[in-house]
Chains A and B, each alone.
Chain A
């Protein structure tokens, strides 16, 4: 007997791929259409709608803003989330349970409520500038992913390894960077990707926090669709997909995605 999977299994797998891939094919197709309206299959082939993205200054600005917010927000979330996840695991017995729950609240609360709450407290209440409010909002939005994913990595980390290093003369902070962090790098990497992509694609929180002159790419796409029906929206969607894939590719190149499976 061969080890070939069962035909039904192959069929189901094929269907899953079909459902995942077909919408993407349609979007890519529509983006390449030479028409002035959205259509599939594309009529004629043209890159002019991609060119158009960069001719609309709102898209140019929001792409930059989105990348800035996603990078800085992820960075801040990692800076807060890594020590938090470490403390939550290292002092699991000593710390009260509700502290762990605190860090997942932004996921538990409906995003639309979370966004509104941030608007009321940050923008309206404290008068925080729009960019800063967006950054704080996105940091908080992705923080639960960082804490959970890195926490999961740390949960299987044997802390006696850390103690071994300390007993051999390595100071605690140095030990964290030379011993603990290298052993949870898979978690850090996964958290980075998840956080960056979540931030880049977020709509509900950004909807409340964007304001005059400052917006993110998904919000700009929404605004554009409300007024225009040209393939720009498809091409910008392809661009967003490309950015996501680019992040994965960079990670794959520099560190290797095999770490994620570890």
Chain B
């Protein structure tokens, strides 16, 4: 039942504005893939292209080997869950869920039984005869989920399904969605702007920006090994410092930025090109009061309390950097320190020019 989805070099335009550029994505059968990005990045456009509500200007989309590109949306057999639920206000909860089965010519008794069974899975049998207007946000989204799942689609798509729910419910619902999706093994595309949401429930995440795919991979890979500065900033590498390698010897590379020199162990950092960007999270810069430490000299600025650490804004010759320091030794603004890169919390990126 479950099928792979292939998006092949798809571009799309609104009038003359290009909103999607050469997007290619291969989603395996049974996988849950999130499209993640700020509004206007092309994630919803992609979803609408797959659903058939928009036509691509070039490229093709296929589901389980079946070319969807020229197929009208009502024949694509895709389950959709909308941000605003989009329940039919004039139909009861049960009839909402049974709607897709009715379109498939299933006999009344049979579709009633199947819709009811689906409502049972989302725990809403008690509300079967209610009108959707009488339901809470979470209940509405469960009905929408049941309505999309009951047709047993080869592909399930979610368009910011949790945005209208409050924070607690969002976490509960996303776990519920993931469990249902896992149990059915339905290939799924999940559109969201919430990084935590995307990373927590996806097999793989596609990070998008300005109509282009920035990086596609497992959450762990995106989080630890961003491929470019956009993704790096997106996943919290707040410091991005340009370096030049000036000397290499005995497994250490001496690098320089804004007149400051630093020795990096080659094994820990992997290949170090001649020019590169060093991206670190605030945790990736250790605040050291030892003047002999091999780090970037910095003067501490504003200190904020994060609960698990203190965070400092630091002035260096390379500009403002953000570093986290231990709770046991709070430091005062104005102190002179060394910021030492922690290899496991850093990542080396090609320089901006090389990224294109």
Contact = CB atoms under 8 A, between A and B. Distances in A.
Given A160-B84, A160-B86, A161-B86, A166 B147 contact: no
A161 B74 CA distance: 13
Interface of A: 158, 160-161, 163-172, 175, 179, 182-183
11 contacts: A158-B84, A158-B86, A163-B53, A164-B80, A164-B144, A168-B147, A168-B148, A169-B103, A169-B104, A170-B103, A172-B74
B337 interface: no
Given A169-B74, A183-B89, 10 more contacts: A160-B84, A161-B88, A164-B82, A164-B86, A166-B73, A167-B51, A169-B75, A169-B100, A169-B151, A172-B74
Interface string B72-103: 11111111101010111110000000011001
* B53, B88, B89: most-surrounded residue (chain A CB, <10 A): B88
Main secondary structure of the interface of A (DSSP, over half): helix
Given A158-B86, A179-B88, A167 B80 contact: yes
Interface string B53-75: 10000000000000000001111
Closest 8 CB pairs of A and B: A169-B103, A168-B100, A164-B86, A160-B86, A167-B80, A166-B74, A182-B90, A161-B86
Interface of B: 51, 53, 72-80, 82, 84, 86-90, 99-100, 103-104, 144, 147-148, 151
A165 B78 CA distance: 11
Given A169-B103, A170-B74, A163 B86 contact: yes
A160 B164 CA distance: 15
A163 B151 contact: no
A168 B149 CA distance: 10
A165 B80 contact: no
* A158, A166, A169, A182: most-surrounded residue (chain B CB, <10 A): A169
Contacts of A160: 82, 84, 86
* B77, B87, B103: most-surrounded residue (chain A CB, <10 A): B103
A31 B237 CA distance: 88
A164 B84 CA distance: 11
A182 B89 CA distance: 9
A31 B74 CA distance: 60
